[in-house]
Amino acid sequence: MGQKISDLNPSEHQWVVSNIELAGEVAKAYGLAVEPGDRLDPQTLDTAWSAWLADHARGEEDPNPYINAFGCAFGDHLVERLGLEWKVVEDKHGTEMAVWGREGDVLVFPPNLVGKRYVDGTTTFFADVAAKTEESVTRIRAQSGDSKPSGLGRFFRGNR
């Protein structure tokens, strides 16, 4: 099976929005100056993630809602900063949420990215990954010139 990139349906869109809101609630719970509707920058995500991870009881509570929340908030940052779009990506590995850019045909899988860092116990990574992603996307876009996207999407190894 090849890779299929689709627009979000209304319930998937609401799932992303709800997760972004949860990330904001977590950041605010740890004393960060976050107002409803604020986009969380990578530094704020690093601080909130580190605080949540320090309080999280591994093996006793489900981390997935928080992994998805932080992933969606990070994806939201990439959407705003790099002009990407939320998409649903289906391939032989399954179906996942991603952010995609037509120009350069790039894919980033933010919830998966966060999940991998959770497994590794990484406490701060959002700012670093954001900078590296912006650098990579800028380079890919420059290299792609006016070429048409393949529809297959380039993704960053380790981000998925």
* Structural domains of the chain in order of their starting residue, each with its CATH number: 4-155 (1.20.120.1090)
- Is-contact 28 20, C-beta < 8 A? no
Enumerate residues 6+ apart whose C-beta is below 8 A from 55. Answer: none
Residue 3, CA atoms < 13 Å, CB-side half-sphere: 17
The residue type at 27: A
When pLDDT is averaged across residues 27-51 and rounded to a whole number, the result is 92
pLDDT(98) > 50: yes
pLDDT at 159 over 50: no
Tell me the percentage of the chain whose pLDDT exceeds 70: 89
Residue 145 reports pLDDT greater than 70: no
76: its two tokens: 């939201």
What pLDDT is stored for residue 154 in this prediction? 38
Specify whether the backbone of 64 is left (phi greater than 0), alpha (psi in -120 to 50) or beta.
alpha
Q: What is the mean pLDDT of residues 124-132?
A: 96
- Give dist(CA 125, CA 159) in Å, integer: 12
The predicted pLDDT at position 15 comes to: 97
Between strands 85-91 and 94-101, the pairing is antiparallel
pLDDT mean over 143-155: 47
Percent of the chain with pLDDT over 90: 71
Give the phi and the psi of residue 105 in degrees, each rounded to 5: 50, 60
Q: pTM of the predicted model, to two decimals?
A: 0.87
When the pLDDT of each residue in the chain is averaged and rounded to a whole number, the result is: 88
**Angle CA 84–64–74, to nearest 5:** 25
